[in-house]
């Protein structure tokens, strides 16, 4: 899949802008392309511009031009969102296919459409819309859920049960997860040259670099692993964390080792994952007194709103608040 050859000029221009100016990752650009392709395929079907019963994945969007895009109305988009809500097939290759996308998936697709039309209204160098038809388009309402995280005792239990052939490597990875709140991709991409005396240079989302400072626990785990790494690494391998093949560890391997050690520690490996360890780090730091803006920088969040999902109050605090009510001891007279 390559949007440079599979999309019309008007979409290609938008994707070039996000790839080169906004510096979004290839994965993000590919998702933008797929979302826009799905949207315009739906419009071609709804406007009867393709033969009836044409398979969705065989509809070309190469003929989509400025006139077509300009003619789109807010009602067209509402029809598309209704299709995603009720009729969009999920798990295409499964015998257990269902219909209707989750609100989070619909919200992402809505955001891409809004971004596309905002670009054509404000940024486009070639064709520019005089009016944005989706300026007032609302995103699907999302159900707010608290992020899952390990307690301090569970985190300690996880670290104390690391064993096996790669125990130094795995312990170091888990320690960095729980102390620094790194993303899985950030851990996999760390090079030996990124390690400083008291920090690690990390490449985050959008190819943005940031320095993550490490505490004594991380420094000790790194030093122990580096001693072990020297026994197996080739001189020209830049990656910090290596697989059993002495090459850079993959994100899928990190995912698997986290699940393995969660299970070994007697924790629910279906409930927690590497991303939940990032949630754990953020939650424990907030409980330890770290302010939310500092946490935003540490986690590499572009928007403060993303970080604020961690400012929840756990059940123990809620229970304590209830017990502290001035009326907590009042009882009805008999």
Annotated catalytic, 183?
yes
Catalytic annotation, pick one of 275, 276, 287, 312:
275
Q: Quick one: which of 62, 249, 104 has its CA closest to 172? A: 249
Kindly report the backbone phi and psi dihedral angles of residue 199, in degrees, each rounded to the nearest multiple of 5, phi listed first.
Answer: -155, 170
Catalytic annotation, pick one of 88, 183, 261, 279:
183
Annotated catalytic, 205?
yes
Catalytic annotation, pick one of 18, 229, 278, 279:
278
Annotated catalytic, 278?
yes
Annotated catalytic, 310?
yes
Annotated catalytic, 83?
no
Annotated catalytic, 275?
yes
Catalytic annotation, pick one of 12, 56, 167, 205:
205
Q: Indicate which residues carry an active-site annotation.
A: 183, 205, 275, 278, 301, 310
């Amino acid at each position: 899949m390559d949007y440079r050859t599979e999309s019309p000029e008007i979409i290609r221009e938008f994707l070039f802008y996000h790839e080169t100016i906004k510096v979004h990752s290839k994965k993000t650009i590919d998702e933008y392309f797929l979302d826009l392709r799905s949207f315009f395929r739906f419009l071609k079907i709804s406007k009867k511009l393709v033969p009836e019963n044409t398979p969705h994945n065989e509809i070309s969007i190469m003929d989509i031009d400025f006139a077509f895009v300009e003619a789109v109305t807010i009602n067209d988009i509402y029809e598309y969102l209704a299709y995603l809500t009720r009729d969009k097939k999920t798990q295409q290759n499964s015998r257990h296919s269902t219909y209707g996308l989750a609100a989070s998936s619909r919200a992402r697709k809505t955001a891409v459409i809004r971004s596309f039309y905002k670009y054509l209204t404000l940024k486009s160098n070639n064709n520019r819309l005089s009016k944005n038809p989706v300026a007032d388009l609302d995103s699907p309402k999302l159900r707010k859920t608290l992020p899952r995280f390990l307690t301090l005792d569970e985190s300690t239990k996880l670290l104390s049960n690391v064993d096996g052939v790669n125990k130094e490597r795995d312990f170091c990875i888990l320690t960095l997860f729980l102390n620094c709140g790194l993303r899985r991709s950030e851990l996999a991409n760390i090079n030996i040259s990124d390690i400083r005396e008291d920090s690690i240079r990390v490449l985050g989302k959008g190819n943005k670099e940031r320095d993550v400072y490490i505490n004594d626990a991380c420094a000790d785990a790194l030093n122990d692993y580096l001693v072990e790494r020297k026994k197996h690494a080739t001189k020209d391998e830049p990656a910090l964390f290596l697989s059993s093949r002495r090459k850079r560890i993959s994100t899928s391997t990190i995912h698997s080792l986290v699940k393995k050690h969660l299970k070994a520690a007697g924790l629910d490996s279906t409930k927690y994952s590497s991303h939940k360890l990032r949630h754990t780090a953020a939650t424990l730091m907030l409980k330890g007194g770290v302010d939310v803006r500092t946490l935003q920088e540490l986690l590499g969040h572009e928007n403060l709103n993303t970080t604020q999902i961690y400012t929840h109050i756990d059940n123990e605090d809620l229970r304590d608040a209830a017990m502290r009510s001035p009326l907590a001891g009042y009882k009805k007279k008999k």
